[in-house]
């Protein structure tokens, strides 16, 4: 967590320092992305629950608003946008591409589930 916050600070500092030279610096913060490395990270869940890879992803994304991981292609498109002329005014920004997981207030999830059961 500390290293990630440091990188976001570095992102802003580089954008400030090199912006006058026309250099744009932005950060992309993905959530779960379906990759071979993430597939390996699902193995303990698969083993513990006796479930498939898809079920393990479903489990870790159950509280993510979009309810799924990103594909590598989706994250690549976000990066391509930031590198394009369509984003020519964007610098020093942090673009979160996590399916909404960063907006979930984990301590309130139990209450939200309770409300859903009463509907």
pLDDT tens for residues 1-15? 899 999 999 999 999
Residue percentage of the chain with pLDDT more than 90: 82
Look up residue 99 and give its two tokens.
């399916």
Mean pLDDT along residues 76-95: 97
Q: Which tens digit of pLDDT belongs to each residue from 13-27?
A: 999 999 999 999 999
Range of the domain at 35: 2-118
Structural domains of the chain, count: 1
Pick from 33, 47, 23, 51: nearest CA to 99: 33
Does pLDDT of 67 surpass 70?
yes
| 8 A C-beta contact, residue 24 and residue 15 | yes
Distance CA 80, CA 91 (A): 14
Name residue, tokens 């967590």.
1
Does pLDDT of 61 surpass 70?
yes
Q: The CATH number of the domain where 53 resides is what?
A: 3.40.50.720
| 8 A C-beta contact, residue 82 and residue 95 | yes
pTM of the model: 0.84
Please, what is the average pLDDT of the chain?
92
């Amino acid at each position: 967590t500390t290293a990630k916050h440091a990188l976001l600070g570095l992102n802003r500092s580089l954008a400030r320092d090199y912006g006058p030279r026309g250099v744009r610096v932005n950060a992309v913060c993905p959530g779960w992305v379906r990759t071979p490395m993430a597939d390996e990270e699902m193995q303990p869940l698969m083993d513990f629950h006796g479930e498939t890879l898809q079920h393990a992803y479903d489990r870790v994304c159950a509280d993510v608003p979009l309810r799924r991981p990103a594909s590598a292609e989706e994250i690549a498109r976000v990066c391509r946008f930031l590198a394009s002329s369509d984003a020519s005014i964007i610098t020093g920004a942090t673009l979160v591409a996590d399916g909404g997981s960063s907006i979930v207030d984990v301590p309130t999830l139990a209450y939200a589930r309770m409300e859903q059961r009463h509907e």
